[in-house]
Amino acid sequence: MRLRILTGIVITLLIFVVARRISRNRPAELDLEFAGARVRHTSVYEQVGPGEPRIDLAIDPAYAVEPSLVYRVGGAELLETLPMERSGPLWTASLPSLERGRRIEYGFRLVPAGDESPARPVTTRLFRIKYKGEVSPTVLVLHILCMFASFFFIVESVLGAGAILARGEPKEFTVAMTRWVVLFSFLGGWPLGWVLNWQRFGVMWEGFPFGYDVTDNKTQILFLFWLVVVLLSWRSFFGRRQGRDPAPVRVYAWAVLVSAAVSLALFLVPHSL
């Protein structure tokens, strides 16, 4: 039992580390040569709390290029233009302040210094910023703990299902683990998830059928798969006679493994928070 618990903790930590490393919530880099100068920028990907995101562009030598900041809000087709001010090698400008949950795309329009021809400007790739509200540390910590606990018990359920298939082990342990999976997935995904969504984006729920937010839809799909596991063993799940469960033991074990694989795949999809 101790080995199972230790294995579950190690695998869960590895999953969280991998998910963090592939998260989309990290800055992108712009590094190009233009008009004999090197142009560099580290993107801003979020604005937490009220304020105007400050955008810096490094140009070396600074006098070789005249940049301006271009942006569009939401799905607008036209780009708005803002002038940038020079301070040493840096050119800076600030984007407008928007409500939480809004998105803005920005980039740079580059012109060789002293070039008056309108045919010469070059617009760089666009970067996206999402405006977010402040989140209560208590709610965030509870949400993370619930998600960690949920995946720990998913791993334990996998170990139990594997033992059922490999050695014919009784399913009491696996059923007990799935109870905790359902409990922590529900608490982390819905009550706490609603509060997080409201504080971060100004809405409680953006999953189907009300919206297409990745995280909210991941929560729904994950919970649906584990609900199927519960239905296949509902008598055992609620403490009744195991022999009366709708599915044979091996079918139940395979359902646990499939639900765990789907849960892992969903968890590795970048989080929207």
User: CA distances (Å), 5 to each of 1, 19, 53, 157, in order?
Assistant: 6, 21, 45, 11
Query: In the chain, what are the domains?
Result: 2-23+135-267 (no CATH), 35-132 (2.60.40.10)
pLDDT attached to residue 7: 87
At 269, the pLDDT band (50, 70, 90 cuts) reads: confident
pLDDT at position 272 over 90: no
Write the burial class of residue 141 (CB in 10 Å: 0-12 exposed, 13-18 middle, 19+ buried).
Answer: exposed
Q: With contact defined as beta carbons under 8 Å apart, do 129 and 106 qualify? A: yes
* Mean pLDDT across 160-180: 95
pLDDT attached to residue 247: 92
pLDDT at position 20 over 80: no
As a whole number, the mean pLDDT across the chain is 90
| Burial profile 200-213: b = 16 or more Cβ within 10 angstroms, e = fewer | bbeeebbbeeeeeb
pLDDT at position 19 over 80: no
pLDDT at position 25 over 80: no
pLDDT attached to residue 80: 95
pLDDT at position 15 over 60: yes
pLDDT attached to residue 125: 94
Secondary structure in 3-state letters for 68-104: EEEEEECCCCCCEEEECEEECCEEEEECCCCCCCCEE
Cross-strand bridge partners of residue 130: 46, 103
84 or 1, greater pLDDT:
84
Report how far residue 14's alpha carbon sits from residue 214's, in angstroms, rounded to the nearest whole number: 22
Q: Which residue has the tokens 């905790």?
A: 180
pLDDT attached to residue 156: 95
pLDDT at position 65 over 60: yes
Cross-strand bridge partners of residue 264: none
At 92, the pLDDT band (50, 70, 90 cuts) reads: very high
Report how far residue 273's alpha carbon sits from residue 257's, in angstroms, rounded to the nearest whole number: 28
pLDDT tens digit sequence for 192-248: 989 999 999 988 888 777 777 788 888 899 999 999 999 999 999 988 665 688 899
Global confidence as pTM: 0.82
Of 90-99, 167-176, 210-219, 248-257, the poorest mean pLDDT is in 210-219
pLDDT tens digit sequence for 98-139: 999 999 999 999 999 876 665 567 899 999 999 999 999 999
Q: With contact defined as beta carbons under 8 Å apart, do 54 and 69 qualify? A: no
pLDDT at position 191 over 70: yes
pLDDT at position 263 over 70: yes
Give Cα 122 distance to the centre of its chain.
32
Q: Is the peptide bond before 27 cis (omega within 30 degrees of 0)?
A: no
pLDDT tens digit sequence for 27-57: 999 999 998 999 999 999 999 999 999 999 9
Q: What is the CB neighbour count within 10 angstroms for residue 20?
A: 12
